[in-house]
């Protein structure tokens, strides 16, 4: 990219996002938490005489086992290609990237978690269309229906969905269930009954962690999304994402009240609400697998598995730690899954950046991460035996073969609404009695963030015949 073109590029992106930064009162970004460089092999680095290795910079959110797995996939490519790849990790990619745009020093590739933000960057002209470096028709064929649209603007894809995760699973400890003669619940009502039964024995059934690396409350939004999808159905879920269903609608209220049957009963949470607000989701899951477990159930995504394996290497997947699908309202309801994924975007048209993105999209790279665990490959060419163990295969199979599959709702909402949703989850956990006010606060943010619609009010969503999470 020429110096003149790069200058125009940065000015356009800065103008497009200056209003967002002011509205969100973004301060100067904090230093990123980790920076690593993957050098090429010595032979590749030499290249032609006197030439230095080309460089690619990546800004992303991953830490712990996720960072190690991504690093392994990137390092393999760097050693083969002769590229010098710098990977910088930070909890808040969106805020750091806004600061880099202001400075005119953007990375070649960024990894975002909100698809609405990807669309916003694309409309501002900050992103390189994927079509220039990838076979987008192949992507469309391998993705679940409608997912490529989530990262597209006017039919043009700008984001590579990556590191998908099944967000509809409940972790548990098989040996404890067997010893105490507890059974896997078949319905939501069964799960609530089991929770009360465990609490009645003087034990804490649930471990909940609402502290986030970037946004507190993100783990709570997964509860609401799952419960709304199961109770109100996929059509209502989609309308809610588009804000055709307001936050004050009975379907949204019912999802929060259903979650209140768990989080609104402090005796059911290990350490109570205060500890839930101070713990992250991975930390919450680990409490189940200590020598003396502090809890027995934890809603957490499939991406948590590598953290469990790292902390308890002597325990076996599928034997010492396991999961079951979050139950539906009725035993006869079809398999229902909420899933999420991060998004890789190109901010540079440098050829080496495009080659690296193409590598990450390849079947080989996705299979390599799948073998390390905590990763659902969206490529249809990655075989089931590529996954690390039976748990990883089952998490991927449940997600990709679900009768009803929906993408994470909060990640589809404008960033302002996503943040308000996360706050609402924490506020509700702390004070369930404020539900009406909490929903009204999110609705006020949504009215400002979404495009203006006709004043005709949307009809309340039907909860679905025969579906009810509440007595």
Coil, helix or strand at residue 139: helix
Q: Express each pLDDT in 184-229 by its tens digit.
A: 999 999 999 999 999 999 999 999 999 998 899 999 999 999 999 9
Distance CA 70, CA 72 (A): 5
**Helix 363-370 / helix 351-361 crossing angle, nearest 10 deg:** 60
Alpha carbon dihedral 219, 419, 376, 108, in 10-degree steps, equals -140
The answer to whether 69 touches 96, Cβ cutoff 8 Å, is: no
Assess whether pLDDT exceeds 80 at residue 50: no
Q: Which residue has the tokens 């975002």?
A: 112
Distance CA 439, CA 51 (A): 59
Per-residue pLDDT, averaged over 374-378, amounts to 96
Beta strands in 10-123 (DSSP E): 34-38, 55-60, 84-89, 109-112
Assess whether pLDDT exceeds 50 at residue 457: no
The answer to whether 44 touches 53, Cβ cutoff 8 Å, is: yes
Structure tokens at 66: 């996720």
What does DSSP assign to residue 429? Answer: H
Beta strands in 103-231 (DSSP E): 109-112, 152-153, 156-157, 160-166, 169-172
Per-residue pLDDT, averaged over 462-469, amounts to 38
Give CA 150 to chain center in angstroms: 14
Q: Would you state the pLDDT for residue 139?
A: 93
Looking at 3.40.190.10, 3.40.50.300, 1.10.3720.10, 3.30.750.24, the CATH number of the domain 3-164+342-393 comes to 3.40.190.10
Q: Nearest 5°: CA angle at 426, between 212 and 248?
A: 125
Q: Would you state the pLDDT for residue 437?
A: 98
Distance CA 20, CA 27 (A): 12
Assign 40 a pLDDT band (cuts: 50, 70, 90).
low
Task: Provide the mean pLDDT of the chain.
Answer: 88
Backbone angles phi, psi at 153, to 5 degrees: -130, 125
Distance CA 337, CA 403 (A): 8
Backbone angles phi, psi at 258, to 5 degrees: -65, -45
Of 20-24, 126-130, 168-172, 371-375, which range is least confident? 20-24
How many other CB atoms are there within 10 angstroms of residue 122's CB atom? 21
């Amino acid at each position: 990219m020429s110096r003149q073109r790069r200058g125009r590029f940065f000015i356009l992106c800065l103008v497009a996002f200056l209003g967002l930064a002011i509205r969100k009162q973004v301060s100067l970004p904090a230093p990123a938490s980790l920076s690593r460089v993957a050098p090429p092999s010595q032979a590749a680095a030499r290249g032609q005489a006197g030439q230095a290795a080309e460089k690619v910079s990546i800004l992303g959110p991953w830490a712990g086992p996720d960072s190690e797995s991504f690093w392994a996939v990137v390092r393999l490519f760097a050693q083969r290609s002769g590229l010098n790849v710098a990977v910088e990790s930070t909890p808040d990619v969106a805020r750091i990237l806004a600061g880099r745009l202001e400075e005119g020093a953007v990375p070649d590739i960024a990894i975002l978690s909100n698809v609405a933000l990807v669309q916003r960057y694309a409309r501002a002209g900050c992103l390189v269309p994927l079509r220039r470096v990838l076979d987008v028709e192949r992507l469309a064929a391998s993705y679940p229906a409608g997912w490529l649209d989530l990262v597209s603007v006017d039919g043009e894809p700008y984001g590579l969905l990556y590191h998908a995760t099944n967000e509809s699973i409940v972790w548990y400890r098989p040996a404890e269930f067997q010893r105490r003669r507890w059974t896997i619940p078949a319905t939501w009502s069964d799960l609530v009954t089991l929770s009360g039964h465990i609490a009645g024995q003087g034990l804490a059934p649930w471990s909940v962690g609402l502290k986030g690396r970037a946004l507190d409350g993100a783990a709570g939004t997964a509860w609401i999304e799952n419960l709304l999808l199961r109770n109100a159905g996929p059509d209502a879920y989609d309308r809610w994402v588009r804000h055709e269903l307001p936050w004050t609608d009975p379907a949204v209220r019912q999802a929060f009240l259903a979650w209140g049957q768990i989080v609104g009963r402090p005796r059911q949470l290990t350490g109570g609400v205060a500890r839930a607000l101070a713990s992250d989701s991975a930390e919450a899951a680990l409490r189940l697998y200590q020598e003396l477990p502090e809890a027995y159930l934890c809603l957490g995504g499939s991406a948590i598995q590598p953290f469990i394996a790292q902390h308890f290497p002597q325990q076996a997947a599928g034997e010492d730690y396991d999961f079951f699908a979050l139950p539906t309202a009725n035993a006869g309801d079809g398999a229902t899954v909420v899933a999420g994924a991060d998004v890789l975007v190109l901010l540079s048209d440098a050829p080496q950046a495009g080659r690296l993105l193409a590598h990450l999209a390849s079947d080989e790279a996705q299979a390599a991460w799948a073998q390390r665990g905590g990763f659902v490959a969206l490529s249809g060419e990655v075989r089931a035996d590529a996954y690390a163990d039976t748990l990883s295969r089952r998490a991927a199979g449940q997600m990709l073969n679900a009768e009803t599959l929906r993408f994470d709702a909060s990640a589809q909402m404008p960033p302002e609404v996503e943040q308000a949703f996360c706050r609402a989850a924490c506020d509700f956990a702390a004070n369930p009695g404020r539900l009406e006010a909490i929903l009204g606060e999110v609705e006020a943010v949504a009215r400002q963030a979404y495009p203006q619609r006709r004043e005709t009010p949307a009809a309340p969503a039907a909860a679905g015949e025969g579906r009810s999470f509440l007595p």
